[in-house]
A and B are shown apart, each in its own frame.
Chain A
């Protein structure tokens, strides 16, 4: 596709439910990032993949959060037993280079998760 695609765009989950958020990066992009953006805040780093390898997951807020990119393209961010504080916009970004921001990171439109 022409850009980074995320689905669903909106997700409402009941507290305690598991959710899965999908990211389709730009074809051929080596690096993939997930960010969490709470209302009125800037995005905060969650995790980084270089191809299929998850090189940094230091930003994942708890062990309820899990991300994967098994074939080095599509990525899924899974949140187990959702809680109200998980309500946020989840952003995915990709870039053509590995491990550097000297090339541009392209962001998707995000998935807005609301936990009720």
Chain B
């Protein structure tokens, strides 16, 4: 079945550092890929998505590129802020009849210190 493996946390960075959170996936067909973020005390929010190979999703300075050849969707940000502290989840939905269903990774806790 479909699965998502993401970088184990927690990750602790200083403000303005470069961030990478690795995500790889296993899926049949052509999945759509997502990054969700959960800020403390809030619900999951969609951060960015990509629906086909070589697409780049971007939002709030975060980027991720859908790499079919390496089955990866790594999240990057050039300069993190304290306000980026949150749990980040990589997820996919398959391209077939269950495209409403999200399969999530375990999440990566990011803490950014001033």
Contact = CB atoms under 8 A, between A and B. Distances in A.
A34 B31 CA distance: 20
A100 B89 CA distance: 19
Nearest to A47: B101
A116 to B, nearest CB: 24
B1 to A, nearest CB: 11
B106 interface: yes
Contacts, number: 59
Interface of A: 3-4, 31, 33, 35, 40-45, 48, 56, 59, 91, 93, 99-102, 104-110
B100 A33 contact: yes
A-B pairs, 7 with minimum CB distance:
A42-B104, A107-B44, A107-B43, A101-B93, A109-B43, A45-B101, A104-B46
Contact of B91 (A42, A91, A109): A42
9 contacts: A42-B4, A43-B44, A45-B101, A48-B101, A56-B101, A100-B99, A100-B100, A101-B34, A105-B46
B46 A42 contact: no
Interface string B6-40: 00000000000000000000000000101010000
Given A56-B98, A104-B46, 17 more contacts: A3-B43, A31-B100, A35-B102, A41-B106, A42-B89, A42-B105, A42-B107, A43-B89, A43-B102, A45-B101, A45-B103, A99-B99, A101-B34, A102-B32, A107-B44, A108-B43, A110-B43
Given A102-B51, A107-B43, A107-B44, A40 B106 contact: yes
Interface of B: 4, 32, 34, 36, 41-46, 51, 89, 91, 93, 98-107
B93 to A, nearest CB: 5
From A31, A33, A40, A42, residue with most partner B Cβ within 10 Å: A42
A44 B93 CA distance: 12
A76 B34 CA distance: 27
Contact of A101 (B32, B45, B104): B32
